[in-house]
Amino acid sequence: MNLYEMSATKLSKMIKSKEISALELTNSIFSRINSVEPKIQSYVTLCEEDAIKTAKLVDEKISKGEKTSPLAGIPIGIKDNICTKNILTTCSSKMLHNFIPPYDATVIKKLKNANAVITGKLNMDEFAMGSSTETSYFKTTTNPYNTNCVPGGSSGGSAASVAAGEAIMSLGSDTGGSIRQPASYCGVVGLKPTYGSISRYGLIAFASSLDQIGPITKSVDDSALLYSIISGQDPLDATSRKVNHIDWDYNFSDISMIKGLKIAVPEEYFSDQIDDDIKEAVFNVIKMLEKNGAKISKISLPSTPHALSAYYIISSAEASSNLARYDGVHYGYRSENYSTLTEMYENTRTEGFGNEVKARIMLGTYILSSGYYDTYYKRAKLLQSKIISEFQETFKEYDVILTPTVPTPPFPIGAEINDATKMHSNDMNTVASNISGIPAISLPCCLNKDALPIGFQLMCNHFEEEKLFKIAKCCELLIGNIKLPNI
């Protein structure tokens, strides 16, 4: 097995025991990047020099016998909407093509404190709006399982890089499914943590009340590892909350907890819009769990079909305000073609944003306009409380909700970019957890007949990440690893 194919948990032990050096690992990742990046296109910016420096520092610490974090020396890629001091942070937009933040996001500070090796900045849909990375101003990332297909999005670069061995793990962000959908598409593990459990300080906002940073990894262990390092209340983020420290047992292999586990399977998540292959694959997982003693119950979450509408209203409203600051005055792109202030604003925004972003800004502006606010925003907020209460009721009776992550397998590049409704329906099973703030994880369960990954989703109640990880780990043990992509 090549180093780039291994999990962080395993590599961490190997570095600590000096079986390998952090430098060897970092070099292995960068040589992998050199060989596959032309096909995968997952990075916007590479940080090889700094990565090597950090790796050497870790080796030095270990040779001196200093105590190191389990993340020390682990190569981690960062979605390009998370601010990194002195490193280009573009949101894959022309608008921020030259933006170099003067500060580190809180999660980056935590990674740096842990001496994690930051490999570079990963491609995404522009301002995290999209499900394929095709709205990126720079490039479209491909799916490592089939480079003619999209990797999903918006954290497409984050998922593809991990699946392709261009990073051991990565950080993505998830507003409506942007971690879990690409994780599902690329056959990796993607966690959307509870809203407020990871600081958003330094995450360039799309929809502030829904955005969450989360890990994309090869295994549940790795997900728990990265989550345990980056979670926690941050004085710089007023919406962050105290979280229970996760004391994760990396040797955890006891699937006996499946016995008696109350699993809810909501019918709305298995609608006609879900591909039959996917339904079958997810039912197989359910059967396997049932065989091991889980209690499976079909339930109904009747508001879920409306979650997507609420999501587009709330997220677009917030986006229209969050993205207003890109006006050409202070940083980023500025049109050269203007003679008045208004013209500078208009031309900068016309030229600097792509179509998907512009569509959402216009939608959000309309929604918040006087006379429409009550019709759209207020009703969406009401729907949001309804969705939350449906989940609360469900978790009174059940431990976990199990659903397919996405309705369809990875689609060919170009197939949906001009069909907004189809593209947006990618999020139908993922948005409800953003709307309600609960944690959700996507795990790979198998490859379909076209050798493309299929994922399924587990959701638990607010701040129940540890429980979610345990259930996910059991599933992982039962399912086994899926075949790695052949690039």
Closest approach of another protein to the CB of residue 385, in Å: 14
Under the criterion CB under 8 A, does residue 330 sit at the interface with another protein? yes
Q: Which of 13, 46, 99, 139: binder of another protein (CB under 8 A)?
A: 99
Q: Where are the beta strands (DSSP E) in 398-459?
A: 400-404, 440-447, 453-459
Of positions 1, 49, 65, 235, contacts another protein by CB under 8 A: 235
Q: If you ran DSSP here, which 8-state letter would residue 76 be given?
A: E
Nearer to another protein, 256 or 339 (CB): 339
Decide if 228 contacts 181 (C-beta within 8 A): no
**Nearest to 428, CA basis, from 80, 180, 76:** 180
User: Closest separation between CB of residue 199 and another protein, Å?
Assistant: 9
| Nearest of 177, 170, 242 to residue 207 by alpha carbon | 177
First-to-last C-alpha distance (Å) of the chain? 15
d(CA 454, CA 283): 12
Those residues whose C-beta lies under 8 Å from the C-beta of residue 98, and which sit 6 or more positions away, are 88, 332, 333
Please, what sign has the CA dihedral across residues 137, 142, 143, 146? positive
Answer for which of 1, 64, 238, 298 binds another protein (CB under 8 A) is 238
Contact between 335 and another protein by CB under 8 A: the answer reads no
Question: Contact region for another protein (CB under 8 A) — 89-97, 215-223, 298-306, 404-412?
Answer: 89-97
Please return the burial class of 298, using the count of CB atoms within 10 Å of its CB with bins 0-12, 13-18 and 19+.
exposed
Give the nearer residue to another protein in terms of CB position, either 32 or 462: 462
Contact present, 195 and 219 (Cβ < 8 Å): no
Active site annotation includes 158: no
What is the smallest separation between the CB atom of 239 and another protein, expressed in angstroms? 6
Write down the catalytic residue from 136, 178, 199, 240: 178
Minimal distance in Å, beta carbon 445 to another protein?
34
Binding-site member from 331, 388, 478, 482 for another protein (CB under 8 A):
331
Query: Do 83 and 105 touch, CB atoms closer than 8 A?
Result: yes
Considering the candidates 7, 12, 21, 79, report the single residue annotated as catalytic.
79
Q: Judged by CB under 8 A, does residue 338 bind another protein?
A: no
Q: Enter the tokens of residue 472.
A: 């996910």
Tokens of 377: 């925003």
The reply to whether 91 sits near another protein by the rule CB under 8 A is yes
Q: Does 101 bind another protein (CB under 8 A)?
A: yes
Of these, 179, 204, 224, 301, which contacts another protein (CB under 8 A)? 204
Number of residues counted as binding another protein (CB under 8 A): 43
Minimum distance from residue 200 beta carbon to another protein (Å): 6
154 is catalytic: yes
Is residue 207 involved in binding another protein (CB under 8 A)?
yes
> Which one of 69, 92, 154, 231 is the catalytic residue?
154
CB 179 within 8 A of CB 191: yes
As a whole number of angstroms, the distance between CA 405 and CA 159 comes to: 14
| Longest Cα separation, the chain | 71
Binding site for another protein (CB under 8 A): 81-83, 89, 91, 96, 99, 101-103, 105, 200-205, 207-209, 235-239, 317-318, 320-321, 324-325, 327, 329-331, 341, 345, 365, 368-370, 373, 377
What residues act catalytically? 79, 154, 178
